[in-house]
Amino acid sequence: MSGDGMDAMAAPRSSAWRSIRKKHLDDNPRCEACGARERVVPHHIVPVHVDPSRELDPQNLVSLCESRTFNCHLFFGHLKRWDRHNPRVLEDARTWRARIQEANDQIVPEASQEENPSPSPDSRTISM
């Protein structure tokens, strides 16, 4: 079940929620943790049941995905249990994304070297 479904069952939503949700996803279409564009949902940093006044606060939302392979919403937003919340969700998601980017940056140079390998010592010519 989607985290949105869980939120909807936990607390009634304001009539303005749909438009706030749509604007947030239009402005923030990628998962903050992994960069995915599929199955992205807005997650409340401070849950609605903790502070109902922040339900429609755009600064209280972060985009997280609910991918079938790795559910960032469940993992980062709820610490692997829907009945919990992570007060450090932004920090954790951004740290994870930076690590993914670092790993990707290391892979790209290695791939470039494979496409254009440097000459072997035996094939080099010596200039004098």
Assess if residue 83 is contained within a domain.
Answer: yes
**Residue 50 structure tokens:** 């903790």
Q: What's the first-to-final CA gap in the chain, in angstroms?
A: 72
Tens digit of pLDDT at every position of the chain (128 positions): 444 444 444 668 899 999 999 999 999 999 999 999 999 999 999 999 999 999 999 999 999 999 999 999 999 999 999 999 999 999 999 999 999 899 988 886 655 555 555 544 444 333 33
Assess if residue 127 is contained within a domain.
Answer: no
Assess if residue 94 is contained within a domain.
Answer: yes
Assess if residue 70 is contained within a domain.
Answer: yes
In this predicted structure, what is the pLDDT of residue 32?
A: 97
Assess if residue 128 is contained within a domain.
Answer: no
Q: What is the extent of the structural domain holding 56?
A: 3-114
Assess if residue 16 is contained within a domain.
Answer: yes
Residue 42 · residue 32 · CB < 8 Å? no
Q: What 8-state DSSP symbol labels residue 44?
A: E
Assess if residue 51 is contained within a domain.
Answer: yes
Assess if residue 35 is contained within a domain.
Answer: yes
Count of structural domains within the chain: 1
